[in-house]
């Protein structure tokens, strides 16, 4: 079984050395987020993750959730762990103080979420879904709704979900059929069926607050006629059932410890959130957080799989090193001496550590966007950067995180395919991450279509200017091996974007044909920026003097591996992208 160990030092390195967390929190007016407090959160959160959640990960997978006539029971230990989580005050960490929260920056909760998610992804989804519901209610709910629902969600007493997908309607929400009939008292009667609802029914909390998309009777068709509603499982006042019933739970490839429910709303009482027919706009508060949370799943898979594979590779004996015996006193050498095993381990490591920096950076941009003392200029930059990086982080880190998880199985060889080691579970649990909250292809279309071409590259230029400034400010001999290729890639990024745009003016299918490779190129170049930041931070620590130079030298060596072994993949994606879509449409639909 892969036992999780919270990477406390690596998290601290990412926060303090790479992303200047202390200065960041001072700049946004969060003076209470001192280094002592941050360290305490990381330390105690790490203990909870590895001592309470990690031991439940494999048993939760093997036992799974049980369904009996509408009642869902979570695996043994899940409910007790959640009560311990609530009693520890963890759900309220970044909550609004007006509703019982601790008022700490959102980015701090992301560091906690990383440890929770890596230790036990299925369990972590229960409070994770609540977080998005909290953000939506805080942004668009009425004061009465906040007092009724938000305070309970902030404390963790109740949990939350988002209910979007229907049997006939996945990504294309314009096909949505769930109805909302207005009532004389200002409420609505919600009727319809929602599927694939993560944490949609369970026994960990007495009430579940569902955020539901539905149509009003006179709503226009398509996506312009969708409204957003809060619909509790139990009436908030009487705690009587509210005609929200679980029809079944899915039998899934992975995340067996999390209930993926079919929910039937039969004239359930709900309340409008935000303006009529603007549900999608309000929902994206939820969705953007969910996409970053899904990016975290890719990073978490890389981290957990790396930890398991590294321990195994140090112990497992097989053959001798090609250059001669490394452990002549043993019958064979540990497999960590073999180049291909090292390739896989280092690939896992660069995704885990580089992905952590990318996600934490996105979370800091979210802090800036919502900080009371941020200037309009700061908010504009933060929003543009988040708009570009969110689909990149979600799709790129889940694709490469799945790759890293598969490497974990490969390092173990045949043992990786066996349940008891826990490596195949990471692959099964992670496979969904490339699908939900929008598939890789959907994220790619969002990036190149809505975020880049639609506004003629304005948002993209905010991001590439960040990379440009970093390259400009680090023109020194030590950093040249990173600065030169990084500069070359970000400069050509804008150039071939224009080429794709020109092709799209003649044939819009060219955008779809280029989208996946465009996103993967963007992912490799963006991750290269964060690995250059990591190398620069390591050089700074070495120059200042440190009692552990090997730790920082290791970061530089890992950055070097990324630049030599993974960043070249960007060139392949560029070539494929620029080859256009003609070969895709040489076939008629009947030729397939």
Tell me which of 138, 403, 437, 510 is the catalytic residue.
437
Query: 187 phi and psi, to 5 degrees?
Result: -90, 180
In eight-state DSSP terms, residue 590 is G
Helix, strand, or coil (residue 30): coil
Inter-residue contact 423 to 59 (CB < 8 Å): no
b or e along 462-501 (b: 16 or more beta carbons within 10 Å of the residue's beta carbon)?
bbbebbeebbeebeeeebebbbebbbebbeebeeebeebb
| H or E element in which residue 10 lies | helix 8-12
Kindly give the residue spans of alpha helices, DSSP state H, lying in 253-375: 279-315, 339-370
User: Which one-letter DSSP state was computed for residue 203?
Assistant: S
CA atoms within 13 A on the CB side of 79: 12
- Identify the burial level of 23 via C-beta atoms within 10 angstroms of its C-beta, where 0-12 means exposed, 13-18 middle and 19 or more buried: exposed
State how far the Cα of 126 lies from the Cα of 258, in Å rounded to an integer.
Answer: 7
In the structure encoding, which two tokens stand for residue 227, read together? 């409204």
Q: What is the 3-state secondary structure (H, E, C) of 138-168?
A: HHHCCHHHHHHHHHHHHHCCCEEEEECCECC
Q: Residue 361: how many CB atoms within 10 A of its CB?
A: 24
Q: Are strands 208-214 and 159-163 parallel, antiparallel or unpaired?
A: parallel
User: Is 399 annotated as catalytic?
Assistant: no
The H-or-E segment that residue 267 falls in is strand 260-273
Contacts 24+ apart (CB under 8 A), 481-485: 481/560, 481/563, 482/528, 482/531, 482/532, 482/535, 482/536, 482/559, 482/563, 483/532, 485/528, 485/563, 485/567
Q: Alpha-carbon distance 152 to 160, whole Å?
A: 10
Q: Which helix (H) or strand (E) holds 118?
A: helix 106-119
> Distance (Å, rounded) from C-alpha 564 to C-alpha 271?
54
Which DSSP state fits 560?
H
Question: What CA–CA distance (Å, rounded) separates 190 from 265?
Answer: 6
CA-based nearest residue to 21, from 394, 437, 368: 368
* Sequence-ordered list of residues with C-beta below 8 angstroms from that of 487, at least 6 positions apart, any chain: 468, 471
- 543 CB neighbour count, 10 Å cutoff: 10
Q: Phi-psi bin for 75: left (phi > 0), alpha (psi -120 to 50), beta?
A: beta
Counting Cα atoms < 13 Å in the Cβ hemisphere of 188 gives: 26
Residue 404's CB: how many other CB atoms inside 10 A? 31
**Helices within 416-508 (DSSP H only):** 423-431, 440-445, 458-473, 480-506
**Which residues are known to be catalytic?**
437
């Amino acid at each position: 079984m892969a036992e999780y160990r919270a990477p406390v030092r690596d998290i601290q390195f990412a926060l303090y050395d790479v992303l200047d967390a202390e200065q960041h929190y001072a700049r946004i007016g969060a003076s209470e987020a001192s280094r002592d407090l941050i360290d305490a959160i990381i330390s105690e959160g790490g203990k909870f993750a590895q001592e309470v959640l990690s031991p439940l990960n494999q048993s939760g997978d093997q036992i799974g959730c049980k369904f009996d006539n509408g009642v869902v029971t979570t695996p043994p230990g899940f409910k007790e762990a959640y009560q311990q989580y609530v009693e520890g005050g963890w759900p309220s960490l970044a909550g609004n103080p007006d509703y019982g929260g601790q008022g700490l920056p959102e980015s701090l909760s992301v560091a906690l979420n990383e440890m929770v998610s890596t230790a036990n992804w299925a369990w972590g989804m229960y409070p994770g879904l609540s977080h998005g519901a909290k953000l939506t209610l805080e942004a668009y709910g009425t004061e009465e709704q906040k007092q009724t629902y938000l305070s309970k969600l902030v404390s963790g007493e109740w949990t939350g979900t988002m209910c979007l997908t229907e049997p006939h309607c996945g990504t294309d929400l314009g096909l949505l059929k769930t109805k909302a009939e207005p009532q004389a008292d200002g409420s609505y009667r919600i009727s319809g069926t929602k599927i694939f609802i993560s944490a949609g029914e369970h026994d960990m909390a007495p009430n579940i607050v569902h955020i539901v998309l539905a149509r009003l009777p006179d709503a226009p068709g398509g996506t312009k006629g969708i409204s957003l509603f809060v619909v509790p499982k139990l009436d908030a006042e009487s705690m009587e059932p509210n005609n929200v019933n679980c029809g079944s739970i899915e039998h899934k490839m992975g995340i067996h410890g999390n209930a993926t429910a079919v929910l039937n709303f039969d004239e359930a009482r709900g309340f409008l959130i935000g303006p009529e027919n603007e549900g999608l706009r309000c929902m994206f508060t939820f969705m953007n957080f969910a996409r970053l949370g899904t990016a975290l799943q890719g990073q978490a898979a890389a981290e957990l799989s790396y930890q398991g594979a590294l321990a195994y590779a140090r112990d497992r004996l097989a053959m001798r090193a090609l250059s001669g015996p490394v452990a002549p006193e043993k019958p064979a050498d540990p497999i960590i001496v073999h180049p291909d095993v090292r390739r896989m381990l280092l690939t896992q490591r660069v995704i885990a550590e580089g992905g952590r920096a990318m996600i934490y950076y996105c979370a800091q941009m979210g802090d800036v966007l919502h900080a009371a003392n941020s200037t309009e200029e700061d908010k504009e930059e933060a929003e543009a950067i988040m708009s570009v990086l969110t689909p990149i982080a979600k799709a790129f880190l889940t694709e490469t995180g799945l790759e890293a998880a598969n490497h974990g199985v490969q390092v173990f060889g045949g043992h990786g395919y066996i349940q008891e080691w826990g490596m195949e579970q990471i692959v099964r649990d992670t496979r969904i991450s490339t699908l939900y909250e929008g598939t890789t292809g959907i994220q790619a279309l969002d990036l190149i279509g809505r975020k880049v071409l639609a506004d003629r590259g304005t948002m993209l230029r905010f991001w590439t200017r960040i990379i440009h400034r970093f390259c400009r400010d680090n023109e020194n001999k030590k950093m040249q091996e990173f600065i030169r290729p990084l500069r070359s890639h970000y400069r050509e990024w804008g150039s071939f974007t224009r080429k794709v745009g020109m092709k799209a003016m003649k044939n819009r299918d060219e955008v779809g044909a280029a989208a996946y490779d465009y996103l993967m190129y963007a992912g490799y170049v963006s991750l290269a920026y964060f690995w250059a930041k990591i190398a620069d931070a390591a050089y700074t620590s070495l120059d200042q003097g440190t009692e552990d130079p090997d730790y920082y030298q290791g970061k530089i060596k890992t950055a070097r591996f990324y630049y030599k072994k993974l960043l070249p993949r960007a060139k392949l994606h560029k070539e494929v992208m620029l080859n256009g879509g003609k070969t895709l449409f040489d076939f008629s639909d009947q030729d397939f």
